[in-house]
Amino acid sequence: MPVIKTRGVIKDYPLASGWFRALHGVDLDIRGGEYVAVMGHSGSGKSTFMNILGCLDRCNEGSYWLNSHEVGRLSGDELARLRNQTLGFVFQGFNLLPRMTLTENVALPLVYAGIAKPERFRRARELLEKVGLARHVDAFPTKISGGQQQRVAIARALVNRPRVILADEPTGNLDSRTSDDIMSIFRQLHEEGITIVLVTHESDVAEHASRQVYFRDGRILSDQATLRAEDVPC
């Protein structure tokens, strides 16, 4: 069973004039340990689909299985638990809480998991160290750069030890050098066996992934393994 499986996923948004269909029946399987880049023009439905995968939104029709659980059949509590245990989400805009230190930001998801404060802070500091921010554990998000804020957001996404990281244009607000640093963190996570689904506009970012899925107008246009220079016959 894949870690992510969708069948016939349809998403309609209400408009003043009626309904807008943002996803037209999306079928996708992602196996544990895959690194998938989701690509496509602006407005093609990438974020809509990611929000459904992240259980931040529900589809109108179709089914979604996360780690073999059919999301649409779970109660609110069951869904919150599954999401906490399975998923980490990284956004383009970092979404850190400005009045909390980096340690407190990273530790926050563990409050909902019912873990005691010393253990929360120990795990948060360990992850901040992993993403290269050991010196800033007590800093506030406003005092660090955008690239560093995104590292904090990645650490926060990892704190529940999820199987899957979903990232929606995580390098969209970063310059290319900082973006390379962030991509090397995702590559390391992939090597550690974490499943990664990452939305990007940039083909050089997508080349880090082993599979590329293109959306167009709310449908999957293509789904193929990443071609690497060494795989192309001369």
* Residues near Mg ion, by CB under 5 A: 46-47
Asked if 66 and 101 touch (Cβ cutoff 8 Å), the reply is no
What residues contact residue 200 under an 8 Å CB cut-off, 6+ apart?
37, 38, 39, 169, 171, 172, 206
CB 40 → ligand ADP: shortest distance, Å?
A: 6
Of 1-20, binders to ligand ADP (CB under 6 A) are 13, 20
Pick from 99, 97, 159, 88: which is nearest to 128 by CA?
Answer: 159
Q: Show the tokens assigned to 131.
A: 């993403």
CB 202 → Mg ion: shortest distance, Å?
A: 13
Give the CA-trace dihedral at 163, 33, 93, 23, to 10 degrees. -100
Among 42, 68, 142, 224, binds ligand ADP (CB under 6 A): 42
Phi, psi for residue 105 in degrees, rounded to 5:
-60, -45
224 binds ligand ADP (CB under 6 A): no
Among 40, 147, 162, 170, binds ligand ADP (CB under 6 A): 40
CB 218 → ligand ADP: shortest distance, Å?
A: 7
Nearer to Mg ion, 43 or 72 (CB): 43
Pick from 141, 142, 150, 133: which is nearest to 198 by CA?
Answer: 150
- Identify the DSSP state of 91: -
171 binds ligand ADP (CB under 6 A): no
What is the C-alpha separation between 180 and 174, in angstroms, rounded?
Answer: 9
The mark string for 44-83 relative to ligand ADP (x by CB under 6 A, - otherwise) is: xxxxx-----------------------------------
CB 93 → ligand ADP: shortest distance, Å?
A: 13
CB 13 → ligand ADP: shortest distance, Å?
A: 3
Q: Please give the residue ranges that form the binding site for ligand ADP (CB under 6 A).
A: 13, 20, 22, 40, 42-48
